[in-house]
């Protein structure tokens, strides 16, 4: 009887475990289908054109409705007995819970009431509407026109949120909005919206006659006027009402629930429990360490041979004159934007050839290099990456800023290309999107500390690839590492310690060789996006720490390609999960198990 009872209990447990796993995957599938329906633009970029006739509803009522659904989904998730799940499902459960928890906490701080800035907003959404979209059939063009015509409501809903944000004191600081009016003016000027007409310059040959004419007439007489009127309405409200009423203080601590909001941002961006004080102290320590390495490279370069009068200068003064040399000597700058883009493409191809030596797992998705659109370039950062999609027949894109070429030095290009393209964001993001046997959300989830930490770690791989043989390129690498270390100082400095904008700019000016334009744009980015900038160095330090640990434990058995595959092989994960994965991998070796 005891044996029979035991067999029944085991069978019941087996059924229960299967039921729990089935409930989990049912929730994953429902959430994925719901998100594709709620966010048609994102769905299109993934190759799902089911809701192509709509745009995302960004009204207050829709935002609240989506929040209620997310709360319902997290309640269903937590009702599942995770103790019954297998290892892979347990990780997915953990990541899904954290993903939904972030969204719920975000909603509580109501920053959806501040939907506009120099780097994002309805004006930039409109300007890029022809990007990443399929144009093959008449209906593709019809739906595109419908989406353009819907921009009137999209802009009106954004203005509604901005008005409420003003009344609640939830606005961006005025200083980081000062370029938005010029962006709007550029779009409203003659030719400013030409990118929206570009799909009609490549109408497929099978779209002919009256159908072709009707599409173009609708674009000229209905869709484009709707877009222009919407942007003009946004400009009028922004200039006359919004900007004058935005807050003048720059720190997140001055927002309603400001200190709690900034602590939340640090938790969300770093996936750690480090507080502002600890991050600031870590930044100070890293700045001092990197400064020492920079001085070694300065003395290794030809600078003192060319300028022997500076040989006896103390370190601080030598650093200052060297930085001034980098910022002003024409040898470090291109004169034509085509040459800058060609330089980036050359670097990327050089790195491509090295990748098989460092990675066993490589993506199928290709990537390209393009310039940042002119209307946003003056107030945009040096570069950014946009993920591609094989299902949408779209490559990844590394966007480089060609505005003000005298502010885009050659010595930073290797680090930047390795960060934004390969083996940085393109490799990490494309591998994640091509994972098999994981829920769809795992392919698309983004944890900033992991993604940006990996990209910063990738810059350092250029040492092993022997890409930094020129001391000036190596200084550029250190410059970029210093830049990210300085972020740990200035971000909590402004948002927690109440530094002024000028204090933050001066700290960057004293410790980096970034151009004045880049420094100002970067500081304004940190003001507008609290906490995000702290993720890079914290993530990179964790990857380097885990690699050093694996090298120490495994010794001659350490395989760098295998280590990288473990790091990237689960997609984007919190740093706690990354550490667990790497240590489990180490323990899979006899020597690793013995060490543990």
Could you write out the three-class secondary structure of 247-298? CCCCCHHHCCCHHHHHHHHHHHHHCCCCCHHHHHHHHHHHHHHHHHHHHHHH
Show which of 263, 290, 319 is a domain's final residue: 263
SS3 523: helix
Does 195 lie in the same domain as 103? yes
Beta bridge partners of 397: 368, 386
On whether residue 556 sits in a domain, the answer given is no
Does 152 lie in the same domain as 27? yes
On whether residue 578 sits in a domain, the answer given is no
On whether residue 555 sits in a domain, the answer given is no
Does 290 lie in the same domain as 393? yes
On whether residue 554 sits in a domain, the answer given is no
Predicted pLDDT at 14: 53
On whether residue 584 sits in a domain, the answer given is no
On whether residue 175 sits in a domain, the answer given is yes
Does 158 lie in the same domain as 286? no
Does 496 lie in the same domain as 387? yes
Rounded to whole angstroms, the Cα distance separating 203 from 182 reads: 32
Paired sense of beta strands 383-386 and 367-371, if any: unpaired
Per DSSP (E only), the strands in 391-521 are 396-400
Does 288 lie in the same domain as 233? no
What dihedral angle (degrees, nearest 10) is formed by the CA atoms of 443, 456, 569, 383? 30
Does 277 lie in the same domain as 241? no
Q: Any idea what DSSP says for residue 395?
A: -
Q: In 3D, which of 128, 149, 132 has the Cα closest to residue 53?
A: 149
Q: What is the pLDDT along the chain (596 residues), one digit of tens a residue?
A: 444 444 444 444 555 789 999 999 999 999 999 999 999 999 998 999 999 999 999 999 999 999 999 999 999 999 999 999 999 999 999 999 999 999 999 999 999 999 999 989 999 999 999 988 999 999 999 999 999 999 999 999 999 999 999 999 999 999 999 999 999 999 999 999 999 999 999 999 999 999 999 999 999 999 999 999 999 999 999 999 999 999 999 999 999 999 999 999 999 999 999 999 999 999 999 999 999 999 999 999 999 999 999 999 999 999 999 999 998 999 999 999 999 999 999 999 999 999 999 999 999 999 999 999 998 898 788 899 999 999 888 999 999 999 999 999 999 999 999 999 999 999 999 999 999 999 999 999 999 999 999 999 999 999 999 999 999 999 999 999 999 999 999 999 999 999 999 999 999 999 988 888 889 989 999 999 999 999 999 999 999 999 999 999 999 999 999 999 999 999 999 999 999 999 999 999 998 787 76
Q: In 3D, which of 417, 439, 441 has the Cα closest to residue 427?
A: 417
Beta bridge partners of 400: 371, 383
Does 193 lie in the same domain as 279? no
Show which of 263, 293, 316 is a domain's final residue: 263
Predicted pLDDT at 596: 61
On whether residue 559 sits in a domain, the answer given is no
Does 331 lie in the same domain as 471? yes
Q: Quote the domain boundaries for residue 63.
A: 19-263
Q: Exposure of 9 by Cβ count < 10 A (0-12 exposed, 13-18 middle, 19+ buried)?
A: exposed
Predicted pLDDT at 8: 43
Does 396 lie in the same domain as 420? yes
What domain count does the chain have?
A: 2
On whether residue 591 sits in a domain, the answer given is no
Show which of 517, 537, 557 is a domain's final residue: 537
Q: Any idea what DSSP says for residue 415?
A: H
Q: Exposure of 141 by Cβ count < 10 A (0-12 exposed, 13-18 middle, 19+ buried)?
A: buried
Rounded to whole angstroms, the Cα distance separating 354 from 126 reads: 39
Rounded to whole angstroms, the Cα distance separating 544 from 579 reads: 11
Does 349 lie in the same domain as 429? yes
Does 481 lie in the same domain as 335? yes
Cβ atoms 367, 395 nearer than 8 A: yes
Predicted pLDDT at 21: 95
Q: In 3D, which of 344, 345, 296 has the Cα closest to residue 322?
A: 296
Predicted pLDDT at 12: 47
CA distance to 5, 200, 265, 400, 424, per residue, from 448 (Å): 50, 37, 11, 21, 13
Q: Any idea what DSSP says for residue 497?
A: S
């Amino acid at each position: 009887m005891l044996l029979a009872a035991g067999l029944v209990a085991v069978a019941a447990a087996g059924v229960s475990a299967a039921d729990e796993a089935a409930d989990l995957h049912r929730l994953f599938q429902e959430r994925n289908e719901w998100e594709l329906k709620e966010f048609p633009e994102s769905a299109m970029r993934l190759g799902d054109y089911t809701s192509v006739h709509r745009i995302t509803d960004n009204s207050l009522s829709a935002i609240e409705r989506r929040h209620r659904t997310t709360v319902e989904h997290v309640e269903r998730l937590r009702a599942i007995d995770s103790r019954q799940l297998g290892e892979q499902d347990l990780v997915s459960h953990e990541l899904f819970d954290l993903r939904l928890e972030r969204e719920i906490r975000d909603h509580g701080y109501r920053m959806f009431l501040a939907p506009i800035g120099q780097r994002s907003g309805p004006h930039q959404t409109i300007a890029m509407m022809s990007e990443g979209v399929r144009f093959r059939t008449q209906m593709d063009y019809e739906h595109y026109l419908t989406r353009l015509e819907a921009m009137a409501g999209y802009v009106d809903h954004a203005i509604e949120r901005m008005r409420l944000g003003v009344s609640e004191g939830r606005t961006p600081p005025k200083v980081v909005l000062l370029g938005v009016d010029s962006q709007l003016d550029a779009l409203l000027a003659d030719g400013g919206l030409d990118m929206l007409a570009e799909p009609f310059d490549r109408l497929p040959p099978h779209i002919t006659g009256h159908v072709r004419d009707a599409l173009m007439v609708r674009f000229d007489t209905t869709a484009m006027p709707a877009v222009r009127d919407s942007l003009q309405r946004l400009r009028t409200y922004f200039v006359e009402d919004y900007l004058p009423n935005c807050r003048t203080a720059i720190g997140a601590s001055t927002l309603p629930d400001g200190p709690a909001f900034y602590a939340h941002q640090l938790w969300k961006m770093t996936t750690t429990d480090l507080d502002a004080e600890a991050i600031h102290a870590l930044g100070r320590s890293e700045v001092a360490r990197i400064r020492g390495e920079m001085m070694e490279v300065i003395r290794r370069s030809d600078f003192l041979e060319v300028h022997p009068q500076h040989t006896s200068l103390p370190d601080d003064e030598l650093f200052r004159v060297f930085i001034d040399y980098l910022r002003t000597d024409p040898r470090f700058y291109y004169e034509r934007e085509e040459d800058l883009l060609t330089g980036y493409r050359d670097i990327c191809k050089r790195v491509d050839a090295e990748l098989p030596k460092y990675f066993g797992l490589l993506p199928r998705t290709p990537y390209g290099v393009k310039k940042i659109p002119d209307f946003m370039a003056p107030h945009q950062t040096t570069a950014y990456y946009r993920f591609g999609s094989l299902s949408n027949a779209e490559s990844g894109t590394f966007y480089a800023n060609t505005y003000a070429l005298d502010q885009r030095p050659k010595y930073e290009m290797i680090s930047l290309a390795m960060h934004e393209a390969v083996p940085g964001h393109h490799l990490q993001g494309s591998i994640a999107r091509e994972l098999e046997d994981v829920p769809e959300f795992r392919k698309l989830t983004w944890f900033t500390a992991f993604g940006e930490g990996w990209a910063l770690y990738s810059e350092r791989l250029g040492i092993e690839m022997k890409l930094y043989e020129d001391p000036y390129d190596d200084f550029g690498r250190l410059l970029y590492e210093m830049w990210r270390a300085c972020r740990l100082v200035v971000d909590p400095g402004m948002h927690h310690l109440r530094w002024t904008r000028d204090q933050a700019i001066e700290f960057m000016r004293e410790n980096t060789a970034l151009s004045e334009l880049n420094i100002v744009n970067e500081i304004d980015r940190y003001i507008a996006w609290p906490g995000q900038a702290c993720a890079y160095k914290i993530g990179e330090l964790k990857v380097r720490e885990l690699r050093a640990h694996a090298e120490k434990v495994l010794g001659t058995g350490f395989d760098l390609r295998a280590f990288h595959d473990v790091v990237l092989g689960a997609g984007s994960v919190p740093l706690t999960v990354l550490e667990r994965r790497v240590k489990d991998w180490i323990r899979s070796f006899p020597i690793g198990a013995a060490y543990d």
